[in-house]
Amino acid sequence: MPASSPRNLRSVRDINRRDILFSVARLPNSDTLIVGSSDNKVHELNAGQNNPPDRELADHGRYVTSVRLVGTRTVVSGGYDGRLIWWDRERGEVIRTVAAHTRWVRQLAVSPDGTKLASVADDMVCRIWNATTGERIRELRGHAARTPTNFGSMLYACVFSADGRKLATGDRVGRVIIWNVEDGRQLGAVDAPTLYTWDGVQRIRSIGGVRGLAFNPDGTQIAVGGVGQIGNVDALQGPSRVEVFNWARAERLFFFTGQQGIVNRLVWHPANEWLCAIGGGSNGLVMFHDPARRASIHQGNIPMHVHDVAFNEDHTRLYAVGHQKISVMDLRA
Amino acid sequence: MLRSLLRVMVVTCCSAAAARADDSAKDLLAGDRPIEQVVDHYVDAALKAANVRPAPQADDATIMRRLSLDLVGHIPALSETADFLAASATDKKVKLVDRLLAAPSFARHQAQEFFTFLQASDDPRRAARRTPLFEYLLAGFRENRGWDRMFRDMMLPDEKDKAMRGAGEFLKSRVRDTNRLTIDASVVFLGVNVSCAQCHDHPHVSAWTQDHFYGMKSFFARSFDSGGFVAERDFGFVKYIPNKGKEKVAPVMFLTGKALDVPGLKEPSKEERKKEQERLDQGKKKKTPPAPPQFSLRAKLVETALAPGENDFFARSIVNRVWHRLFGRGLVMPLDQMHIENQASHPQLLQWLARDLVAHKYDLKRLIRGLVLSNAYARGSRWESGDMPPEQLFAVSRLRALTPMQMAVSLKVATTDPMSLTADGKELDKRLEGIERSSEGRASLFTQPGDNFQVSVSEALLFTNNSNLQRELLEGGGTLVTRLKQEPDNARRSDLAVRTVLSRPARAEEIQAISDYLQRRGDRVEAACQQIVWALLTSAEFRFNH
Amino acid sequence: MRKRFCGSGEHVISRRGFLGTMAAGGVAACADMTAIQALAAPEISAELRRNQKRCILLWLAGGASQLETWDPKPGAVTGGPFQAIQTSVPGIHISELMPRMARRLKDTAIIRSLNTRNADHNSAAEMMMRGRPREAGLNYPDLGAVLSRELGQESSPVPDYVAFYFATEGRNMAPSNPGFLGARHGAMDLYTSMIPENIRRNGISEQDHIERADLRGTLSRGFERGRSSLTIDSHSHAYSRVRGLMSSEALFDIGREPQRIRDMYGPTLFGQQTLAARRLVEAGVPFVRVGRAWWDSHGHNFETHQEMVPELDQVMCTLLDDLEQRGLLESTLVITLAEFGRTPNINSQLGRDHFASAWSCSLSGCGIRGGSVYGRSDATGQRVADGEINAARLFATIYRALGINHRKNYHVGARPIPLTDPGTEPIREVLA
C-alpha cells in the first residue's frame, strides 16, 4: 500500500506573502523551508505553523531563482546576479560567493549523493561544481545561444538522474540534452518543440520553454514540462503540458495536458507511483499522472501560480511556493 | 471620463443655440408648389442677388449618368444611355427619374448610403462591410418607410422582432459609451455636434449652455448593455460640475431648450432597485431582450424630437444631408453645425423643404425626386468664365468623388461587354444586383470620400500596377475588351469604349487619340484594347460624378 | 504652380525645401529621377541634409515596459529581476537590457513622466499617434500625416509617409490615418512585403506603361478644363506621382546595402525595416514609422522583454550610429513610443498589464538635447513624481524639435484646429 495517494490531495495550510517565491528546498524530516524570493533574498521559515516567523538569510541583490540544500547545513542559492552563494544556515554566514555565470541563473540541482551541484543560466552553459568546495568541475555547452529566429535563447532547467550519473538540461526552444556527469559527454538529446511557441505572424515574439525536467527512477526516461502551443502569446493561455521520452532512442512515449498554464516543476516518484507536474497560469495547477498506466490520477488547483515544490520523505506532503503564497498540502493514503 | 470631458468643456466649449429658424412660415412659398420649382425659386433668387449667371444645364448624357449614380448607385449601362439619348419626349427626364426611383436598385443604393453615414465611422475601411443594419435599411427603403419611423426604430428597437434586429445596431454599438452615443445621435439625427470642444475661435453662440450637452446625455443615461441587448432603467440621471458653481443634476432637456419633467430623477429606494433588477434579470436568464421600463427616456427623446414645434432639428438635418449628397455641399455646412449662428445658404429653402418633409410624413423618396428634378441639380459642372462663383450659390454643379460602392459597381458595369447588359428592365436589374453583390470586396479598395476628399497615390498605384484588378476588369470573356477586340475599325472601337466607360459619345479628338494609340499596337490588339479601357477608367471623368 | 496646400504663409515657407525648388523646373523631370540618383549628387545631398528635417518613429505597439527599458527600478518591490546600468551620462541609469544605448546616450533624451490616462490599446494608440484624444466629428491626422504635410515636398518622387507594420495584432487598432489632411498625406502602408504594394510594373512593357499613362493624361485633361478643386487636383497629382514612386522601389531594397551595414542592424524583421527606414529618410522621405509589435506582456513580462529589448537596443543604437555617420542625425528625429507602458505591479503570470500613469519614451537626434532625462516617476513607478506631461506636450516637443510651430492652426472648413491645444508648451528641457 503506497504511502501517498494524490486523489486525497487536500490543503493543510496557506501562508500568504508579499513576495514571489521562485524556489524551495526543505530541511529533511521537518517543515522548515528555505525559499528564494523576488525580494532578492533567501528566507527560512517553518511551514508547520500559521504565520511563521521569517528568517532572512542571503541577499543576492536580485531575484533569487533557485535554492538547494547540500546536506543539512549548507545552502546554495543562485539568482539574476549570476552568482552562486554558499552559506551556513545555522550560523547565517556566507561560506563563499562564486561568479558562476555571465547571465541570469535559472536553476540549480544537487546530485543525489550530495557531492555535485549543477547550475544553468541564460549564458546557455551548464556548470557542474563540487557541492562542498565550490570548485568548478566542468562546463556543459551544447544549447544554442540564439533561437531559430535570432533572438537570445534561455536555459531554464537541470536535473540529475536518481543514480547521479546523468544530468538533463532544457532550454527555451524545447531542446533537452542528456549529459554524462562523469565526463561531460552528450549522451543524447530530445526535442519538445510544442513547448515553445514562436508567433511570427500575430505578435512576432515567443513564449514557453522547458521548465520542468524529471528522470524516471531507472533513468531511461525523461519527463519534460512546460506549456503547449499558445494562440495568444500575451499570456499563458495554452494547455499545461508534459511529454515523456525514452531519451536514448529520442522517442516520445506519451504526453499529457492539463488546465491552462505552464508546468514549472516535475517530480517523479522514486517508486514510479506517479509523476507530479506543478505550475500555473493565473492560478496554480497540479497534476499527478500514472506513468505505468499512462493515465491521469488527479488534476487539481493550487491557490496560486506555483514556481517550485518540495515533498517530504514519504511523499505524503507537498510544499508549493509561488505567487505571494506558500501552500502546504497533504496526499496521505 | 466625466471629469476629462468637463475639462474640455470648461476650456473650449463653444456654444450653439437652438436651430429654430426665425423665418416665419407665412413668408415661405406655398406648400403645394412642386419641390423642384421651390428649389429653383430660392436658388435663382440668390444667384440674382449675387449677380451670378449659373452654368448652363448639363447635356443629356451627363444628366443620365448623374441620375443613375445618385439614384441607383452606378453608371448607366450603354443601352440605357443610348435609349435616353434617342428618346425625344419632352418629359423624358421625369420618366427616367421615375423609372430609376421605382427600380429595386434604388432601395439598395439608398440603404447603402444611409448605412455608411449611420455608421459614422472615422475609419473609412470599416464602412464597406454590410451588417444587419444594412438589411434593416434596405427593407425600410423598399417600402419607403418615413425617416421618422426609421429614427424611432433605431432609438427604440424591438429586439424580439427578427426583422428589426438590425435597427438596434446603432444603439448597441455605442451604448457602452454614453458620451459617444449622445454625440453621435445628435450629429446623425439632429445635425448638431454637442461635444463642441476645440471651438476656441468660433463665434460664440450665446444660447448654448452645458445643460444642452448634459441634457441630451440624460436621455441616454439610463440605457446600458445587458447581456448583448440594450436595456433601460427606470432610474438614473446625469450629474456634472458646471463651469461655475457646484455639482448639479442635469435637466432632461432637448436641444431646443425644452426641459422635461420626468420621474426617477432621484436615487431609487432599495425596494425599487430590487424590483428593477428582477425585471432586467428575467430577460438575462432567458437570453431575451429585457422588458422595457415603465418610463423610457429614449422614447421621450423620440417623442420630443418629432413633436410639432420641436422637430426642426430633426427635419432640417435630414433635408440638409440629402441635399448635401445630391449637390456635393449642404445648405448648411458643416453638416453637424446646424445651429443658429451658422446660417443656411438658403434659409427659406431649407425651412420650406423641412416643412414639406414633415407634411409628407418624412417621405425621403419624394424629397429626392423633387431635388433631382430641379434645374439647380442639373447644371453643368464646368466653369470657364473667370473665377468660380462661391460654392453656396450652386451656380455650377460640384464634382463628387464616387463612393466606394459606386466606384466598385461602376467599374464592373463599365468593363462588362455592353451587349450583355441590355435595357430589358427586370433582367438588367438582376444582372446589376449580381454585380453589386460581387463588388463589396472591390469597394473595400477605395476610401469613403468626405468633404475635400483627395485621391490617394495608393489608388493611382492600385490602378496602375495591380494585377488582380486588371484581371477582374480587363481580362477573360464577357468583357468590354473582348467586344472591342472583335470590332475591326479603330474609330468605332474608340467610340464604343468611350460610350461604355464614360457614358457619352466620343469627341473627334478623343477618337483620334485613341485610334492612333490602337494603330501603333496593331501587333497586340488585346493589350492595346486593355490599355485604352484602362486610360478611360483612370481618367478624372470616370472617378467623379460630374 | 497650382496651390495645393491651403496652409498659412509660414507653411509655404517651411516647404520651400530643396526638392520643392527643384521641382519648379518641371514636375516631369523630377518624377523620372530616382531618389538614388538624387543622393548620388553630392551637392544635392548636402543641401538635403541641411534643409530637410525628417523623423523615424519606432512604434513599440502593445506597450513596452518602461521598467525594463528607460526607467528601471532595481530593488523596488515592483522592479523585476533586471538591474539598472550606468549610461555614458553620469547619473543616468537605464535597464541592463539596453547596454548599447547605455553607451550612446549622448543624442537621446529620456522622458520618464508621461501620464496619459488611457490604458486601452485602441484609443490610447490613436491618442499617442495624434497627440490628442479622439474627438467626435473631427478626424484628426496622425503624426505621419502632419509631418508629411509639414516636411514633405510637393512633387517629391519619394513617398512622404511610409509605415511598416507586419504583425497582425494591433494593426487595425490605430491604422495610419491622414484624417482631414486627406489622402495626399496618407501613408504608404507595408503590411506583408518589404516592397510596397503595386509599385512594380506588371505584365506590360515599359514603353506601353509610359504611353498608356500619357493617353490617360490626354483624356483626363480634356475633362479637367474648367473644373478645379482640391479633389480633382488630387486625382491628377496622384497619377503624376506614380512613375516617381515606382522609381523609388530601390529604396525599399535593403539588399543594396553592404553586408556590414545589414549585419549591424541584425537579421530580425525589425532590424531590416529600420534599415529600410534609414534608406528612406536618407532619400528624403520625411516620416517613416516602423511598427514593432507586440509588447503586450500580460504573462512572462520579463522573458518577453529579455527577448525584445536587446533587439530594440541593437536596432536603435545602430540606427543612431548610422544616421550620425551619414550626417543625418542632426536633421532626423528618432522617437521610441508606445500607446502606454506597463504596470509596476507584477501579476501572477509574472506579467505586467496596461499602464498609462507613469511611463516613458525617448527622443533622439534632431533638435534634441541628448544625454538628458526629463521627469521622474516615484520609487515604485506607480506615479509621476516630477514633470508630468501628457500626449499634447510630447507632440508639441516633437514639433518644436522638427522646427514646426506647434501653435499653428489647420482649418477644417472655417474651424481652426491647432496642432496642439492652446496653452500647450513643449518641454524646453529636452530641446537643444
CA distances from B189 to B49, B132, B178, B537 (A): 33, 20, 16, 36
B225 lies in the same domain as B113: yes
Q: Residue B128 pLDDT more than 50?
A: yes
Any domain includes B160: yes
The mean pLDDT of chain B is 87
CA-to-CA distance for C400 and C387, rounded, in angstroms? Answer: 18
HEC assignment per residue over chain A:
CCCECHHHCEEEEEEEEEEEEEEEEECCCCCEEEEEECCCEEEEEECCCCCCCEEEEEECCCCEEEEEEECCCEEEEEECCCEEEEEECCCCEEEEEEECCCCCEEEEEECCCCCEEEEEECCCEEEEEECCCCCEEEEEECCCCECCCCCECCEEEEEECCCCCEEEEEECCCEEEEEECCCCCEEEEEECHHHEEEECCCCCEEEECCCEEEECCCCCEEEEEEECCCCCCCCCCCEEEEEEEECCCCEEEEEEEEEECEEEEEEECCCCCCEEEEEECCCEEEEEEECCCCEEEEEEEECCCEEEEEECCCCCEEEEEEEEEEEEEECEC
**All 3 cell numbers of residue C367?**
533638435
Give the span between the Cα atoms of A103 and A176, in whole angstroms. 20
- Residue B466's pLDDT band (cuts 50, 70, 90): very high
Q: Which residue of C has its CA nearest to A209?
A: C303
Give yes or no for residue B13 having a pLDDT over 60. no
Q: Grid coordinates in use for C7?
A: 496652409
Report if residue A256 sits inside a domain.
Answer: yes
User: What is the predicted pLDDT for the residue at C293?
Assistant: 96
CB A129 within 8 A of CB A68: no
Q: In this complex, is the C-beta atom of B343 within 8 Å of any C-beta atom belonging to chain C?
A: no
What is the CA C244 to chain-centroid distance, rounded? 22
Put simply, whether A16 touches C (Cβ < 8 Å) is no
Report if residue A11 sits inside a domain.
no
- The nearest alpha carbon in chain C to B447 belongs to C183
What pLDDT is attached to residue C20?
32
Average pLDDT rounded to a whole number, residues B137-160: 94
- Domain contains B502: yes
> In Å, what is the CA distance from B494 to each residue of B83, B410, B528?
20, 19, 11
- Which domains are present in chain C? 54-200+285-312+325-430 (3.40.720)
The answer to the question of residue A83 being in a domain is yes
Question: Which residue type sits at B535?
Answer: A
Query: Does residue B283 form part of some domain?
Result: yes
Q: With respect to residue A227, please indicate whether it lies within any of the assigned structural domains.
A: yes
Instruction: Single out the residue of B375, B359, B311 nearest to residue B32, CA to CA.
Output: B359
| C-alpha distances in Å from residue C50, one per residue of B483, C46, C405 | 57, 6, 19
Q: Chain A closest CA to C292's CA: distance in Å? A: 8
Mean pLDDT of C153-177: 88
Residues in chain C closer than 8 A to A151 (CB atoms): 268, 307-308, 310-311
C267/A151 Cβ within 8 A: no
Residues of chain C positioned with their CB less than 8 A from the CB of B527: 204, 208
Hey, what's the cell of A119? Answer: 547550475
A251 pLDDT more than 50 = yes
CATH code, domain with A32: 2.130.10.10
**What's chain A's average pLDDT?**
96
Chain B residues whose CB is inside 8 A of the C223 CB are: 539-541, 546
- Say if CB C60 and CB C167 are below 8 A apart: no
What SS3 state is found at C295?
Answer: coil
C406 has a pLDDT exceeding 90: yes
Of B274, B306, B338, the domain-final residue: B306
In this predicted structure, what is the pLDDT of residue A114?
A: 97
What angle separates helix B147-155 from helix B297-306, to the nearest 10 degrees? Answer: 170
Tell me: do B411 and B528 sit in the same domain: yes
Nearest C-alpha of chain A: how many angstroms from C82? 7
ipTM value for the complex: 0.97
Residues in chain B with CB shorter than 8 Å from the CB of C222 are: 507, 509-510
pLDDT digits over B214-267, tens only? 888 999 999 988 878 888 988 888 887 776 678 888 889 898 888 888 887 778
Give the one of C134, C184, C416 whose C-beta lies nearest to B454's C-beta: C184
- The closest CB to that of C198, out of B184, B401, B461, belongs to B461
Where residue C47 falls among pLDDT bands split at 50, 70, 90?
Answer: low
Residue C319 has pLDDT above 70, yes or no: yes
Cis preceding-peptide flag for C294 (omega within 30 of 0)? yes
Query: For B187-201, B300-314, C380-394, C415-429, which range has the lowest pLDDT when averaged over its residues?
Result: B187-201
- pLDDT at residue B505 in the model: 96
Q: Residue C25 class from Cβ within 10 Å (0-12 exposed, 13-18 middle, 19+ buried)? A: exposed
Partners of A150 on chain C (C-beta within 8 Å) are 266-268
> Is residue A135, in this structure, part of any structural domain at all?
yes
* Average pLDDT, integer, range B135-145: 96
Contact C268 A150 (CB under 8 A): yes
Q: Taking CB atoms and an 8 Å cut-off, how many pairs form between chains A and C?
A: 94
Residues of chain C numbered 350-409 and touching chain B (CB < 8 Å): 409
Asked if C207 and B521 count as a contact pair (C-beta separation under 8 A), the reply is no
The count of C-alpha atoms lying within 13 angstroms of the C-alpha of A220, restricted to the half-sphere facing its C-beta, is 7
| Helix (H/G/I), strand (E/B), else coil: C417 | strand
The dihedral formed by the CA atoms of C400, C401, C403 and C409, expressed in degrees to the nearest 10: -30
Q: What angle do CA A161, A163, A165 make, to 5 degrees?
A: 70
For chain C, say whether A13 makes contact (Cβ under 8 Å). Answer: no
Residue C191: is its pLDDT beyond 70?
yes
Which residues make Cβ contacts (< 8 Å) with residue B261, sequence separation at least 6? none
CB contact under 8 A, C348 and A323: yes
Whether the CB of C310 is below 8 Å from some CB of chain A: the reply is yes
Pick from B12, B382, B460: CB nearest C226: B382
In a domain, A321, yes or no: no
Report the C-alpha gap between A164 and A178 in whole angstroms. Answer: 12
Report pLDDT digits (tens) over B273-300.
888 788 778 777 777 888 888 899 999 9
Max CA pair span of chain C = 73
CA distance B494 to B168: 51
Chains A and B touch (3+ CB pairs under 8 A): no
pLDDT value of residue C10: 31
C312 Cα to chain A: minimum distance (Å): 11
- What is residue B427's predicted lDDT score, i.e. its pLDDT? 83
- Rounded CA separation A160/A181 (Å): 9
Percent pLDDT > 90 in chain A is 97
Q: What's the Rg (C-alpha) of chain B?
A: 26
Q: Is the pLDDT of residue C34 over 60?
A: no
Helices B210-220 and B178-190: crossing angle in degrees, nearest 10, is 100
A-proximal residues of C, 376-415, CB under 8 Å? none
Cβ contact (<8 Å) for A207 and C351?
Answer: no
pLDDT: which is higher, B540 or B26:
B540
CB of A10 within 8 Å of a chain C CB? The answer is no
User: Which of A106, A110, A132, A112 has the alpha carbon at shortest distance from A23?
Assistant: A106
Instruction: Indicate if B120 and B265 belong to the same structural domain.
Output: yes
Contacts with C188 from chain B: Cβ below 8 Å? 457-458
**Amino acid, res. A82:** G
Half-sphere exposure of B97 (CA within 13 A, CB side): 19
Is the pLDDT assigned to residue A284 strictly greater than 80? yes
Residue B414 domain-assigned (yes or no) = yes
Domain that holds residue A179: 19-266
Q: Which residue has the cell 499527478?
A: A288
Does C117 lie at the interface with B, CB-CB under 8 angstroms? yes
Report if residue B100 sits inside a domain. Answer: no
Residue B451 lies in a domain: yes
For chain C, what is the mean pLDDT?
88
pLDDT of B453: 84
Lowest mean pLDDT segment, chosen from A163-177, C133-147, C274-288: C133-147
Task: Give yes or no for a contact between A207 and C304, defined as CB atoms under 8 angstroms apart.
Answer: yes
Domain assignment present for A34 = yes
Average pLDDT of the segment spanning B498-507: 97
Task: Say if B330 falls within a structural domain.
Answer: no
Classify the C-alpha dihedral B353-B357-B360-B366 as positive or negative. positive
Identify all chain C residues contacting B4, using CB atoms and an 8 Å cutoff. Answer: 117, 133
* C238 close contact with B: CB closer than 8 A: yes
How far is residue C298's CA from residue C304's CA, in Å, rounded to a whole number? Answer: 10
CA angle B127, B129, B133 (to 5 degrees): 85
Is A49 part of any domain?
yes
Check CB contact of B88 with chain C, cutoff 8 Å.
Answer: no
Asked if the Cβ–Cβ distance from C82 to A80 is below 8 Å, we say yes
Q: Nearest-CA distance from C171 to chain A in Å? A: 9
Lowest mean pLDDT among A126-130, B196-200, B336-340: B196-200
Tell me how close the Cα of C166 comes to any Cα of chain A, in angstroms: 8
Residues B278 and B425 placed together within one structural domain of the fold = no
How many domains does chain B fold into? Answer: 2
Question: Is C350's Cβ below 8 Å from some Cβ in A?
Answer: yes
Q: For residue A160, what pLDDT is reported?
A: 98
Assign A37 a pLDDT band (cuts: 50, 70, 90): very high
Which H or E run contains B39? helix B35-49
Structurally, chain A folds into a number of domains equal to 1
- Show which of B306, B338, B354 is a domain's final residue: B306
Cβ separation C81–A18 shorter than 8 A: no
pLDDT band per the 50, 70, 90 thresholds, residue B11: very low
Closest partner residue to B195 (CB to CB) among C137, C180, C216 is C137
Binding-face residues of C in 326-345 toward B, CB within 8 A: none
End-of-domain residue from the set B238, B271, B306 = B306
CA distances from B251 to B196, B211, B215, B259, B265 (A): 19, 7, 5, 7, 9
- Cell for B161? 422582432
**Which residue of chain C is at minimal alpha-carbon distance from B122?**
C139
Q: Convert the pLDDT of each residue in B46-61 to its tens digit.
A: 999 999 999 999 999 9
Say whether residue C126 is in contact with chain A using an 8 A CB cutoff.
no
C282 to chain B, minimum CA–CA distance in Å?
A: 21
State pLDDT tens for residues A190-244.
Answer: 999 999 999 999 999 999 999 999 999 999 999 999 999 999 999 999 999 999 9
Share of chain B above pLDDT 70, in %: 90
**Whether residue B500 has pLDDT greater than 90:** yes
> Residue B122 pLDDT > 50, yes or no?
no
Give CA–CA dist A224/A275, Å, rounded: 11
Digit-coded pLDDT (tens) for C236-255: 989 999 998 999 999 999 99
Amino acid B454: pLDDT: 86
- Residue B249: strand pairing partners: B239
Report how far residue A286's alpha carbon sits from residue A9's, in angstroms, rounded to the nearest whole number. Answer: 10
Residues in C touching A155 (Cβ below 8 Å): none
Residue C224 with chain B: CB contacts under 8 Å:
540
User: Per-residue pLDDT averaged across C307-325, rounded?
Assistant: 98
C307-339 CB burial, b ≥16 within 10 A, e <16: bbbbbbbbbbbbbbebbbeeebbbbbbbbbbbb
Residues whose CB is less than 8 angstroms from the CB of residue B106 and which lie 6 or more positions away in sequence, other chains included: B71, B72, B100, B141, B365
Q: Does A259 touch chain C (CB under 8 A)?
A: no
- Contact list in C for residue A20 (CB cut-off 8 A) is 346, 350
**B91, B96, B99, B104 alpha-carbon torsion, rounded to 10°:** -160
Q: How far is C252 from chain A (nearest CA, A)?
A: 21
Task: List the 161-220 stretch of B: residues with Cβ below 8 A of C.
Answer: 180, 183-184, 187, 193, 195, 197-202
- With 70 as the cut, is the pLDDT of residue B113 above it? yes
pLDDT higher than threshold 60 for residue B33:
yes
Q: Do the Cβ atoms of C117 and B4 come within 8 Å? A: yes
B3 contact residues in C (CB cutoff 8 A): none
Long-range pairs of A176-182 with CB within 8 A, sequence gap ≥ 24:
A176/A210, A176/A213, A176/A222, A176/A224, A176/A245, A176/A247, A177/A140, A177/A142, A177/A143, A178/A222, A178/A247, A179/A126, A179/A140, A181/A111, A181/A116, A181/A128
Q: What is the chain C residue with the closest CA to B461?
A: C198
Give just the sign of the alpha carbon dihedral B335, B339, B343, B346.
positive
**Is A113 in the C-facing interface, judged by CB distances under 8 Å?**
no
Is the predicted pLDDT of residue C17 greater than 50, yes or no?
no
Surface of B (109-168) touching C: CB under 8 A:
122-123, 125
How much is the average pLDDT of A103-120? 98
Helix axes B92-102, B364-372, angle to 10 degrees: 150
C-alpha to C-alpha distance for A269 and B244, rounded to whole angstroms: 74
Strands C287-293 and C54-61: parallel
Q: Is B245 within a domain? A: yes
Q: How far apart are CA B225 and CA A93, in angstroms?
A: 62
| Residues ≥6 apart with Cβ < 8 Å to C232 | B399, B540, B544, C224
Chain B residues 372-391 with a CB less than 8 Å from chain C: 381-384, 388
Domain that holds residue B272: 2-17+108-306
Distance (Å, rounded) from C-alpha A14 to C-alpha A320?
10
Test C212 with B452 for CB contact under 8 angstroms. no
Per-residue pLDDT tens for B383-432?
988 888 999 999 999 999 999 999 999 999 999 999 998 867 678 888 88
Quick one: pLDDT at residue B196?
55
